[in-house]
């Protein structure tokens, strides 16, 4: 029997590939609020009880960035990974902190200025586009953010265009397993790993493999741009 992702592709071609169809209307409304309080989200995002915060150093190491590379932290939020990535690529590298929330980007700018990280550039994306120049990055990092893509195929198309040929995409998101995952994950995350992987591969990416020794509540998958 073929893997589930292959059985899902015909459905994806008629439903998910409709770039104008929102898969979860309103999911980002709170981040578009001009009164968004960054401090409250910092307390939520940067806490030891959150697996990706607790394992942040191992995640950065597993991404394997090299000095001089250009990468995008998609859905950078409060900048949890932005500055470690900036240090990893060095002064000759470039980190684009991409987010839909203007207040998050202002916060990241202030953090980068304080850390004297001149290789960090903030970019405000839209619900349908990452708003990055064509062939401008070597790697895209999407951590606990893909399930917030309201128009995933449109966003993936813009990301595919922004990546250089052979560029990589790292996807980390919650494992959504009925009877195993928390009620929060089951209600908040629209689909599981197989569906998300199928969407990414349908957008012109090839799965390279998984990192399985770092996270338990999340999966960590690497893709290459075809």
- Taking residues 136-151, what's their average pLDDT? 98
Spatial distance between the Cα atoms of 217 and 188, rounded to a whole number of angstroms? 14
Spatial distance between the Cα atoms of 117 and 112, rounded to a whole number of angstroms? 5
Gyration radius of the chain over CA positions:
17
pLDDT digits 0-9 by tens, 30-45? 999 999 999 999 999 9
Spatial distance between the Cα atoms of 186 and 73, rounded to a whole number of angstroms? 25
Residue 31 zone, left/alpha/beta (φ > 0; ψ -120 to 50; rest): alpha
- Taking residues 136-156, what's their average pLDDT? 97
pLDDT at position 21: 85
Over 60: is that where the pLDDT of 95 sits? yes
The pLDDT > 90 percentage for the chain reads 91
Spatial distance between the Cα atoms of 104 and 109, rounded to a whole number of angstroms? 9
- Taking residues 14-38, what's their average pLDDT? 82
- Taking residues 17-27, what's their average pLDDT? 79
pLDDT at position 19: 55
- Taking residues 191-203, what's their average pLDDT? 97
Over 90: is that where the pLDDT of 212 sits? yes
Average pLDDT of every residue of the chain: 93
Where b means 16+ CB within 10 Å and e means fewer, 101-127 reads bebbbebbeebbeeeebebbbbbebee
pLDDT bin (cut points 50, 70, 90) of residue 1 is low
- Taking residues 170-175, what's their average pLDDT? 98
- State both tokens at 172: 């980390």
pLDDT at position 16: 45
The pLDDT > 70 percentage for the chain reads 91
The 3-class SS string of 152-199 reads HHHHHHHHHHHEEEEEEEEEEEECCCCCCCCHHHHHHCCCCHHHHHHH
pLDDT digits 0-9 by tens, 65-92? 999 999 999 999 999 999 999 999 999 9
pLDDT at position 13: 45
pLDDT bin (cut points 50, 70, 90) of residue 8 is low
- Taking residues 148-158, what's their average pLDDT? 97
- Whether the CB-CB separation of 103 and 129 falls below 8 Å is answered with no
pLDDT at position 14: 45
């Amino acid at each position: 029997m073929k893997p589930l992702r292959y059985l899902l592709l015909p459905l994806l071609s008629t439903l998910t590939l409709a770039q104008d169809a929102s898969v979860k209307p309103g999911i980002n409304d709170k981040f578009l609020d001009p009164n968004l309080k960054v401090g409250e989200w910092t307390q939520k995002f940067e806490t030891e009880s959150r697996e990706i915060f607790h394992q942040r150093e191992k995640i950065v190491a597993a991404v394997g960035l090299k000095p001089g590379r250009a990468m995008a932290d998609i859905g950078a939020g409060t900048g949890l990974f932005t500055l470690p990535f900036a240090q990893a690529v060095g002064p000759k590298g470039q980190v684009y902190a991409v987010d839909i929330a203007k207040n998050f980007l202002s916060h990241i700018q202030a953090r980068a200025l304080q850390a004297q990280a001149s290789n960090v550039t903030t970019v405000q994306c839209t619900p349908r586009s990452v708003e990055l120049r064509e062939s401008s990055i070597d790697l895209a990092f999407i951590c606990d953010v893909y399930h917030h893509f309201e128009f995933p195929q449109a966003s993936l198309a813009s990301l595919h265009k922004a990546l250089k040929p052979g560029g990589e995409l790292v996807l980390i998101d919650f494992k959504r397993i009925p009877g195993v995952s928390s009620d929060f994950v089951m209600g908040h995350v629209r689909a599981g790993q197989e569906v998300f992987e199928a969407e990414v591969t349908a957008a012109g990416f090839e799965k390279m493999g998984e990192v399985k020794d770092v996270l338990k509540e999340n999966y960590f998958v690497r893709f290459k741009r075809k």
